[in-house]
Amino acid sequence: MTIPFTRWPDEFARRYREKGYWQDLPLTDILTRHADSDAVAVIDGERRFTYRQLNQAADNLACALQARGIQRGETALVQLGNVAEFYITFFALLKAGIAPVNALFSHQRTELNAYAAQIAPALLIADRDHALFADSAFLPNFCRTHTSVRAVLLRHGEGDQALEAAIDRPAQRFIATPTPADEVAFFQLSGGSTGTPKLIPRTHNDYYYSIRRSNEICAISAATRYLNALPAAHNYAMSSPGSLGVFLAGGCVVLAHDPSATLCFPLIAQHQINVTSLVPPAVSLWLQALAEGANKAQLASLALLQVGGARLSASLAARIPDEIGCQLQQVFGMAEGLVNYTALDDAPERIFNTQGRPMCPDDEVWVADENGNPLPRGEVGRLMTRGPYTFRGYYKSPEHNASAFDENGFYCSGDLIAIDEQGYITVQGREKDQINRGGEKIAAEEIENLLLRHEAIIHAALVSMEDSLLGEKSCAYLVVKAPLRAVAIRRFLREQGVAEFKLPDRVECVDALPLTPVGKVDKKQLRQWLAQRAQA
C-alpha cells in the first residue's frame, strides 16, 4: 500500500540523487543513528529522555501499533502539544511506515475533521489534556463520523487507550518497516488560503535533506541546546533546523509550552540553551520584558536567535543583538518546502534587512508578474519556486494544484518578494488570501464559509488589519439581516469548533461589500477602509 502523491519528474529525482540531496535514508535514521547514545535528547519539564530511551520508546509504540493491526502504508491523525510524546509518536509512526498528519494543539473540531476527511486515518493519537478529548462526547462522535479509525490512543488516557502504556510496554521482536525514502513519510499542514486546510505530502528524502542542510547553515552540533517554544508540529520548529535538526546532530531539545519570557528565560538559564526560534511578536514580548527589568543574565548562554514565520521589521531586528545579547538569523520558510536563511557570518545590515537566501544551490526561485512572466532582478512580484525539498502538489487537490503550480512545476507561494543582486530575498507582501496573525496563518475563505453558516449573515469577508504586536489581526466585514455583536459572532465560530486564533479580532457590519469590476469582493478596498478608520 503506498500513499498517492505528486512525484518529482524522473529527471529531477535523478539529479537530486546525483547531487547527494536525496540519500535514500528514512527519517527514522535521525533517531536510530543515536540508538546507543546515553546523551539527553529531550527535556520535558521534569522528564528527561536519552537517545537510547527515545528510540526504545518509539520501538515500543510502533510495536503496539502493529499489534493493533495498523499497517504500513496507512495514515494517522495525531494531535499532541509540546511534549516528549510528540517525538516518540512521530518516530514510532515512521518506524511502522504509518504517515501522520500532526494537527496543531490549537486546532479544534473543524480542523481535525477536515484532516481526517482527507486522509481517512486508521489511527488517532491525541491528548486528554486537550479540551476536545477531555470531553467524553467528542471521541465517540469523531469515530462514528470517521469510520476508518480502528485504534485510538490518548495521552493521559485510560485502559486500552492509554498512550503511556503503549509506550512503556517493551517491544517484542520489533522490526522497523518505514516506507521507502522516496514515498510519503508524513503530511505537513499548509497555512492555507482555501476553504479546507490543505495537506502537503513530505517524503523522507526531501525532508531529510531540508533538515540536514539547515543544520549546516545554522551550525547545529551535539553541543546545541535548543529551546523549542514554537508549536512542536509546526514545520519551522520541526525542520528549520528545529528539533529534528537537533536530534540529527545529537544535541538536546528542551520543550516549552509557549514562548513567553516568564517561562522561557528561566528555562534558558537552567538548561544553558544556546539556540532558539521565535516568531516576531514573541521577540517584541521578550524585548518588552527586558525593558521592564527582566533578568538579562538569564539569557547569557543564548548564542543564536532565529526569527521567522512572519515579517520582522528591520527596527525590531536591529535591537536583538544588543538587547537580547545574541546573534539574529532570519528564516523565511514554508511548510510546502523552500526555506531561506541569512548566514551566520552575513553583515548585520543584511541580517536586519533581508529574509535570507534559499538554502540549496538547486532551489530555483524567480519572481513573476501577474501574467506569470519573469520580472527583472530587484522588482517585486510573485515568488515561484521548485527544488529538491519543495513539494509538487497538495494531497488530493487537483483543482487547487492547477492554479498553485505553473506548467513547469514551479510552486507559487502567494508571497510578493524581491530578490537582490546577491540572491537575498525580501518579503514585500502577499497575494494569497491569508492573514498572518503573528506567524499563525488564517485562510480567509475557511472562516468566511463558517460565518456564512450563521442565519443572519448574508455576505462575509475576512481581511487583515495592522497590529503593532502581531503584525496583523483579522477583521470580518459582514452584511447582516439583523444587528450582530462581535461577541456573538465569536461565540458562534467557537461553537463551529474552530481554532481560537482564527476568530475575527474585530467585526464590522456594513450595508454592502465593495466589489471589483469583475464582481469579486474588493479586499484591497476593505483594508483601505480599515486603515482610514485607524487614522481617523
Q: Residue 81: which of 29, 26, 139, 132 has the closest Cα?
A: 132
Grid cell at residue 519: 464582481
Shortest gap between Cβ of 287 and ligand J2J (angstroms)?
A: 17
Q: By CB under 6 A, is residue 333 in contact with ligand J2J? A: yes
191 is a site residue for ligand J2J (CB under 6 A): yes
Binding to ligand J2J (CB under 6 A): which residues in 422-441? 427, 430, 436, 441
Site for ligand J2J in 341-370 (CB under 6 A): 355
Does residue 211 contact residue 244 with C-beta atoms inside 8 Å? yes
> In the structure grid, which three cell numbers stand for residue 250, read together?
545529537
Stretch that binds ligand J2J, among 156-164, 314-322, 327-335, 369-377 (CB under 6 A): 327-335
By CB under 6 A, residue 116 contacts ligand J2J: no
Judged by beta carbon, residue 121 or residue 471, the one nearer ligand J2J is 471
Quick one: the chain helix, strand, coil %, rounded to 5?
A: 35, 25, 40
Judged by CB under 6 A, does residue 330 bind ligand J2J? yes
Cell numbers describing residue 450: 463558517
- Please say which residue, 55 or 355, places its beta carbon nearer to ligand J2J: 355
Which H or E run contains 465? strand 457-467
Question: Taking a C-beta distance cutoff of 8 angstroms, is the pair 471, 310 a contact?
Answer: yes
Q: What are the start-end ranges of the H helices in 300-367?
A: 314-323, 348-353
Stretch near ligand J2J under the rule CB under 6 A, chosen from 10-18, 265-273, 325-333, 370-378 = 325-333
- Measure CA 472 to chain center: 18
Q: Does 55 interact with ligand J2J (rule: CB under 6 A)? A: no
* Phi–psi pair at 176, nearest 5 degrees: -70, 140
202 sits near ligand J2J (criterion: CB under 6 A)? no
Binding segment (CB under 6 A) for ligand J2J, from list 7-15, 40-48, 115-123, 234-242: 234-242
Q: Does 470 contact ligand J2J by CB under 6 A?
A: no
Pairing outcome for strands 471-480 and 457-467 = antiparallel
Of 529, 341, 484, 440, whose CA–CA distance to 105 is shortest?
Answer: 440
DSSP string, 45-76: TTEEEEHHHHHHHHHHHHHHHHHTT--TT-EE
Task: Note whether 501 binds ligand J2J by CB under 6 A.
Answer: no
Residue 301 CB, nearest approach to ligand J2J (Å): 23
Judged by CB under 6 A, the stretch of 8-16, 170-178, 329-337, 384-392 that binds ligand J2J is 329-337
Q: Shortest Cβ distance from residue 221 to ligand J2J (Å)?
A: 20
| Of the candidate residues 96, 139, 339, 470, the single one contacting ligand J2J (CB under 6 A) | 339
Binding track over 239-258 against ligand J2J, x by CB under 6 A: xx------------------
Per-position b or e across 171-186, b if 16+ CB within 10 A of its CB: beebebbbbebbbbbb
User: Least distance in Å: CB of 234 to ligand J2J?
Assistant: 6
CA dihedral 229, 234, 239, 242 (to 10 degrees): 0
- Residues 268-307 as x/- pattern, contact with ligand J2J by CB under 6 A: ----------------------------------------
Closest residue to bound ligand J2J by CB? 333
Identify which of 127, 116, 197 has the alpha carbon closest to the alpha carbon of residue 502: 197
Which single residue is written with the C-alpha cell 512545476?
Answer: 409
Does 111 help bind ligand J2J (rule: CB under 6 A)? no
C-alpha–C-alpha distance, residues 428 and 201, integer Å: 28
Q: Of residues 235, 284, 327, 342, which one binds ligand J2J by CB under 6 A?
A: 235
- 128 CB-contact burial (10 Å; exposed 0-12 / middle 13-18 / buried 19+): middle
Among the listed residues 126, 211, 256, 335, the single contact to ligand J2J using CB under 6 A: 335
CB 526 → ligand J2J: shortest distance, Å? Answer: 20
Q: Between residues 41 and 189, which has the closer beta carbon with respect to ligand J2J?
A: 189
Distance in Å from the first CA to the final CA of the chain = 61
**Which residues contact ligand J2J by CB under 6 A?**
191, 235-236, 239-240, 308-311, 330-335, 339, 355, 413, 415, 427, 430, 436, 441
